[in-house]
Structure 1
Amino acid sequence: MLIRIRSKDGNFRFELSPNASISDLTAKILETTINADPSTLSISNQPRGNEVAVSTLEGQSLAALGLKHGDLVFVSYREQTPQEQPALVNSTSTINPSSDHSRRPWETVQEDLVDQYWRKQDGKISRNRDTRFCKHGVNAMCDYCMPLEPYDSAYHTEHNIKHLSYHSYLRKLMPKGSAATTSSSQLPPLSPLSYKVQVPCPSGGHPDWPKGICTACQPSAITLQSQPFRMVDHLEIASRDVIDRFLGSWRETGKQRFGWLIGRYEAYSEVPMGVKAIVEAIHEPPQEGDPDGLSLNLPWEDEPRIRELGHSASSPLTIVGYIFTDLVATPEDRSKTLYKRHPQSFYLSSLETIFAAKVQLANPTPSRSSPTGFFSSRMVTAVLTGTEDGGIDVSAYQVSEQACAMVEADMIEASVEPGIVRVKEEDRTQDSARYVPDVFFRYKNEYGLEVKQSAKPCFPVEYLLVNMSYGFPQHPTPLFRSTNFPIENRPISMQSEQGVVNELARLRAPDVLESAYDADSNRRNEIVRYLSDWHLLAFLGRTQLVSPGDMKIFMSTLTSPNLEDPAILDKVLKTDSWETLMTFARESAPPTTRPSSGTPAGGDHAMDEDIPPEFLEQNIPGIRICPHCTFENTGTGSDCEICGLPLT
């Protein structure tokens, strides 16, 4: 049943069972207060008079107290003084819910760094002095030049910003510095949508669904509308190489490809209090691609390891979304692609929209502004598809909270027509127990009038989408510098431990500690650039060559912004896993890349006996082998780059 509460903090409504204890109601009331003394809490059925201390009603149910559905209860209490607070924490009173009060979900949740940043900022949009209307001095301010609120509608219209950012939306719901300074203003303003039947029913007057239903437990009718905010405002790809590497599989096989976006969230200055997702890599899970689609194995078994690996980076990374290709080459010109997704067809199909909703439901965003501690999701859906001129472009979307709630309630399904979503039929069987309320959507008819129409049996998928911008940075500074290692789970390019060892041997990594620092800096840089590859690091984490502890050192070191410093490799060189790699590399090193370790640089080296003299005399373009130390010189100098002796 529904119990209404009125106190100095405001008006509240709680859904409780008639058999619930008065202690349950007390706990609900105290959640709406800050610094209340539970021992002074009293309730009454009148605004003044008839107050009864809650402590004297312990153990009684709400029905026994005569409370019915919709009753209004007046609450009064005295606030704690600072001296009283320690005593209350240690109180043994059975109705003191202070321990539960201190563990409310929205108070203990750990938000993302970008959320912590924006909560500390003013968020207002600064404006310069208007020379036409401002008649004051440079240190004064008027209505024409004073800062705007981040949710100012005129600013968004002028700059063609369709959706409020998440924190602008929060600021609109709870303005900073407003007169509402009571504890009610500190309660979470966002409530996750739910279109499910409430079980058990708050009224308690009938059997649970599907055997019974009433207005107290059934969801209200739904009117589909554009979501006023978006959780992510911009998708930024750290480097064009990230997209090019992902497209490589389709270019070679013609089969579609799927990948998880590995990146992080940062503030986005182009939108008031905006958030952008920066993609540093694309990790491709096991999949089967076809020319017209693909199939995935979900849940993804490797996800926990990948998340832990990303968290070890110098700038912690996570999964910020996913990307897939929908590309078909034109029959006339195989170098061009078909223009499939446009205003006259669809942007995301109904099947893709439902999949996006499931991904977002599985990855909620921690939020202090929701009573559950989570609200919506920042998982981005990106599509690589053909453009009107035959090129390839990225489109980025999220699906709305209404879409997620409808998928969670099992209300919608995909249609044969990709731009249409079907509304399922109601099912009262015990197995599914699906209740589908009335669903409507609005549109403008041919006369420009807004019309409300039933969404049953189907409606356009655009009503569930939230689009965002995307782009590349003008001055790319990606965390990962290499783009050469084969990508995981591709049949056309295989990853192997022997391939890693052979490349380290070619780079003469086993000898890096034996060389002088100045002479060795170039080789160190080559090794660092080779190792700074997401796909290589993710592969090493699956092998027995690198321990989990050393893997964290590898990841944090090789994603450092100071990779150009030769000393950055020192942390990696000191690990046991590096010694293991070097043991295998020494065994795999070809003779031409293994100078005698007993002779110092600059001295005479005996030529390896297993190298035929005629091989050393070959005229290989761009490569000259030193007859003294057998090193392959690629420069144009007359002396060897290692031993310094003449090459002739």
Structure 2
Amino acid sequence: MLIRIRSRDGNFRFEFNPKADVSELLEKIIESSPNANRDTVTISNQPRGNEAPISTLLGKSLEKLGLKHGDLVFVNYKPREDESAAAPPPASTPAASSSTSQPSRLWETVQEDPVDTYWRSKDGMIPRGRDAQFCKHGAKGMCDYCMPLEPYDAKYHKEQNIKHLSYHAYVRKLTPKSTLSSSASLPPLEPISYKVKIPCPTGDHPSWPEGICTGCQPSAITLQSPAFRMVDHLEIANMEIVDRFLQAWRKTGLQRFGWMIGHYEPYDKVPMGIKAVVEAICEPPQEGELDGLTLGLPWEDETRIRQLSANAATPLTIVGYVFTDLVPDEEDRTKTQYRRHPGSFYLSSLEAIFAARMQLNNPTKTRSSSTGMFGSRLVTAVLTGTEDGAIDVSAYQVSEQACAMVEADMIEASVDPGIVRVKEEDRSVDNARYIPDVFFSYKNEYNIEVKKSAKPCFPVEYLLVNVTHGFPQAPEPMFQSIQFPIENRQGLEDQTVDGVLGTLARLDAPNIMPSIHAPAGESPKRTELARYLSDWHLVSFLETTQLMSVADIKLMTRTVSRPMLLREPALLDPVLQCEGWQTLMTFTRESAPPSRPQTSAPSGSNAMDEDIPPEVFDQIAASDAQGGGGGGPRICPHCTFENYHGGSDCEVCGLPL
């Protein structure tokens, strides 16, 4: 099972056996927090309170401790250097006193996404052509009117109507040019936190809620539009992916939820931009309703899906989630109601808080933060009705301020979907909650900027970040088919082994050989087989059947996710040659229904045989079985057809034999 650990050193994830001893959890905590004093480590199931020294829990299993898959464990400890400073140095080892343990530089060991590696290798400068009016130099010269602009240039963004800086443009803006290529420089980003610091850095009073001071309490919050966004664009690789997702709603009228599987790429419409490309939608177990849905979290299949998707030709991950909010129009059932617009809401307060929780659970690994983590690239997509009654995608993220407020348990949903409520302060020991002052600003009727207290509530728009979306003009999806039944659609679509074997039999898969041994003319059959196999939902289902080994499933995932698969059928050869495929073909042959025996025309027959109805051959076979044809064939002297029945007239020409 997956256990998440949150400490002052950041967020970490580790896999454990449910029956593993708590000591294994302790070792992972020490591994992620090398500066922790082992004897002072405490764990809790909530950010504040309920801490238990882990040393008192040793000998118990994780499942007996009540931990389940996906649980978040809050860790606290005293640093080792604190104790070394309090204790006198040993007389025999004077050098030991000067070699105190230093906190590890976590950001230096982070493995970033390939898109981050790409942008770190570029300067991101915005090229400009020669200005015909102001440039007075030669073709190879450069001046202030044509020199490249920095990726964070405010004038350029205003001219291009780009509301937010991209993540890497923002990092470039914060990083001094002299230290851009220096690994010794400190990261420019620090995660936002609105929680009381425990223990207080001053050490002058008991920890919250017994005491609080300016040194440990969070500052007042002013909600404002983010200066940057983690993802600039959401691209869905194929329109069919969305259409297939909508089929469940079209058949039932119930709302639907799905995790978007994809990868991140550079986005050229924004300086140093990043886009999330969706290659498939995986639907978890859920209960749809007319006006919402019920979803089970944590998602039990998440670890398996992440591991499987990482084996694709281009490694995939969960880039976001999508849900429907669709209601047919009362007057015209072919259209949908326009529910989300400037006069109502874009994301409800409940959806925004849910998005914040999901983003907190999926942080982005980065070298630009002291914790090795900052923000999230998880995108929230909504399929909802447009003003003209059609269906369109809207994409959002919530701000870093929103995530920090949810993490500090400061806000909650309201009855009005467009309003967020600020919670009341709570000084109880079990559920201590400190609420700093919260403000938001707006322009009044005189167009004057006014600051207003956000207590007890404020508009949800102050937490949202818009993300553009679209479809590629020349689609090249990784998966060529989306016709296989989709998971967790009970009663609508069923994923069965018999269905897979039946389709493979119809495609004549057992007789399709690797390209080096294939007979001439087999290419169309191989292409159709490749198209059928290149389906995310099929590969995901096959993994659960255990008909193929883990290694063979990895091979299949990597092979069928290549965009060139249909144009180069030989790419399918590794799958056709693996042991798991041979096992699958054995089951396919054994499960195929017996075919009716074909009666071939005798060697002496002519072209008239082709006009003989199949019933005639059935009658002949039945007659032979009863011994009616024991005398052998009788050759018609008129048409030379070989008659196997015992009659006196030819079956073909009708003349006497």
Change (3 A) 1:200 1:125: same
SS of the residue 1:422 aligns to = strand
- For residues 344-375 of structure 1, the C-alpha deviation after alignment (integer angstroms, 9 at most, x for no partner) is 11000000000000000000000101110000
Q: Is 1:574 matched up with 2:580?
A: no
SS of the counterpart of 1:210? Answer: coil
Deviation of the 1:517 alpha carbon: 3.5
Could you tell me which residue of structure 2 aligns to residue 152 of structure 1?
153
Mapped partners of 1:240, 1:232: distance in 2? 21
Structure 2 CA distance, aligned partners of 1:533 and 1:419?
39
Change (3 A) 1:616 1:438: farther
Residue 451 of structure 1 and its aligned partner are, at CA, apart by 0.4
Within 2, Cα distance between the matches of 1:306 and 1:235? 21
Offset of residue 92 of structure 1: 7.1
What's 2:235 paired with? 236
Residue 566 of structure 1 deviates from its aligned partner by 2.1
Separation in 1 of the partners of 2:144 and 2:237?
40
- How many Å separate the matches in 2 of 1:237 and 1:203? 51
Change beyond 3 A, Cα 1:237–1:616 = farther
Partners in 1 of 2:426 and 2:313 — Cα distance?
51
**Residue in 1 aligned with 2:124?**
123
The alpha-carbon distance between structure 1 residues 373 and 615, as it changes in their structure 2 partners (threshold 3 A), is farther
Distance 1:336 1:191 in 2: 47
Q: 1:244 to 1:615 in 2, by over 3 A?
A: farther
Structure 2 equivalent of residue 641 of structure 1: none
CA distance in 1, matches of 2:597, 2:509: 10
Cα distance in 2 for partners of 1:373, 1:263 equals: 23
Q: Tell me the CA shift for residue 264 of structure 1.
A: 0.0
Map of 1:543 onto structure 2: 545
Candidates 526, 529, 532, aligned match of 1:527:
529
Query: Which whole-Å deviations, capped at 9, do the CAs of 1:521-548 have from their partners, x for residues lacking one?
Result: 1111111100100011111111121221
Residue 517 of structure 1 aligns to a residue whose secondary structure is coil
- Alignment map for 1:157-306 (pairs within 5 Å): 157-177=158-178, 186-306=185-305
* Partner of residue 504, structure 1: 504
**Cα separation, partners in 2 of 1:123 and 1:592, compared to 1, 3 Å:** same
Cross-structure match for 1:422: 421
- Separation in structure 2 between the aligned mates of residue 236 and residue 114 of structure 1, nearest angstrom: 15
Give the match's secondary structure for 1:519: coil
Distance across 2 between alignment mates of 1:233 and 1:444: 27
Does the CA contact (< 8 Å) of 1:151 and 1:272 recur in 2? yes
TM-aligned CA distance change 1:429 to 1:533, over 3 Å: same
User: What corresponds to 2:494 in structure 1?
Assistant: 494
Q: Say yes or no: does 1:557 pair with 2:559.
A: yes
Provide, for residues 466-492 of structure 1, a one-character-per-residue CA deviation record: whole Å limited to 9, x for no partner.
001100000000000012101000021
Determine if contact 2:480/2:563 at 8 Å carries over to the other structure.
Answer: no
- 1:620 alignment partner in structure 2: none
- Tell me by how many angstroms 1:93 deviates: 4.2
Residue 320 (structure 1) aligns with: 319
Once residues 171 and 357 of structure 1 are traced to their aligned partners in structure 2, the CA distance between those partners, rounded to angstroms, is 26
Which amino acid in the other structure matches residue 283 of structure 2? E
**Structure 1 unmatched runs, 5+:** 1-22, 25-56, 65-90, 605-611, 618-648
After TM superposition, the structure 1 = structure 2 runs for residues 73-152 of structure 1, keeping only pairs within 5 Å, are 93-96=96-99, 100=102, 103-152=104-153
**1:330: which partner in 2?**
329
Q: Deviations over 1:495-531 (max 9, x none)?
A: 1010000000001111113973322211111111001
| CA–CA separation in structure 2 for the residues paired with 1:478 and 1:421 | 39
Distance 1:574 1:453, change over 3 A: same
> Could you list the per-position Cα deviations for residues 101-131 of structure 1 after superposition, in whole angstroms to 9, with x for gaps in the alignment?
6x41000010100000000101000000000
Residue 561 of structure 1: how far off its partner (Å):
2.7
Amino acid aligned to 1:244: D
- Per-residue deviation, 1:595: 9.1
Alpha carbons of 1:175 and 1:125: their partners in 2 closer, same or farther (altered >3 Å)?
A: farther
Equivalent position of 1:407 in the other structure: 406
- Deviations 1:428-463, CA, capped at 9 Å, x for gaps: 111110000000000000000000000000000000
**Contact 2:410/2:423 (CA < 8 Å) preserved in 1?**
yes
Q: 1:463 to 1:593 in 2, by over 3 A?
A: farther
Unaligned runs of 5+ in 2: 1-34, 37-81, 89-93, 606-612, 619-657
Provide the rounded CA distance (Å) in 1 between the counterparts of 2:616 and 2:176. 78
SS of aligned partner of 2:281 = strand
TM-score scaled to structure 2, two decimals? 0.76
- Structure 1 residue identity aligned to 2:156: Y
After superposition, residues 16-31 of structure 1 pair within 5 angstroms as: none
| TM-score normalised per structure 1 | 0.77
Matched residue type, 1:104: R
Query: What does the per-residue CA deviation read over 1:569-594, in whole Å, with 9 as the maximum and x for residues that have no partner?
Result: 21111222111211111123244599
Q: Which amino acid aligns with 1:354?
A: I
- Matches for 1:438-477 after TM superposition, within 5 Å: 438-477=437-476
How many angstroms does 1:271 deviate by? 0.1
- Letter of the 2:550 partner, please give it: P
Q: Distance in 2 between matches of 1:616 and 1:541?
A: 45
Query: CA offset at residue 613 of structure 1?
Result: 2.5
Whole-Å separation in 2 of the counterparts to 1:593 and 1:153: 75
The one-letter code matched in structure 1 to 2:153 is D
Distance in 1, Cα, partners of 2:558 & 2:404: 38
RMSD: 2.6
Counterpart amino acid of residue 118 in structure 2: Y
Match of 2:436 in 1: 437
**Residue identity opposite 1:108 in structure 2:** T
Distance 1:595 1:136 in 2: 85
Structure 2 counterpart of 1:551, one-letter code: I
Q: Hey, what's the Cα distance between the residues in 1 that align with 2:398 and 2:578?
A: 45
Letter in 2 for 1:201: C
* CA gap 1:341/1:181 in 2 versus in 1, 3 angstroms: closer
Give CA deviations for 1:395-419 in whole Å, capped at 9, x if unaligned: 0000000000000000000000000
Matching residue's letter, 1:122: D
Secondary structure of residue in 2 paired with 1:167: helix
Question: Please, which moves more after superposition, 156-165 or 587-596?
Answer: 587-596
Count the aligned residue pairs: 521
The answer on 1:394 being equivalent to 2:393 is yes
Q: Is the 8 A contact 2:479 2:563 kept in 1?
A: no
Cα deviation for residue 248 of structure 1 reads: 0.4
> SS of the counterpart of 2:177?
coil
Amino acid at match of 2:125: K
Determine helix, strand or coil for the equivalent of 2:502. helix
User: Is the 8 Å Cα contact of residues 310 and 316 (structure 2) preserved in structure 1?
Assistant: yes
> Tell me, what secondary structure is at the counterpart of 2:293?
strand
Aligned residue for 2:587?
A: 584
User: CA offsets per residue over residues 595-614 of structure 1, 9 Å max, x none?
Assistant: 99xx9xxxx9xxxxxxx923
Residues 546-574 of structure 1, C-alpha deviations (whole Å, 9 max, x = no match)? 22111100100111232122212211112
The whole-number CA distance in structure 2 between the counterparts of 1:225 and 1:565 is 52
CA distance in 1, matches of 2:489, 2:450: 50
Distance in 2, matches of 1:372 and 1:423, equals 28
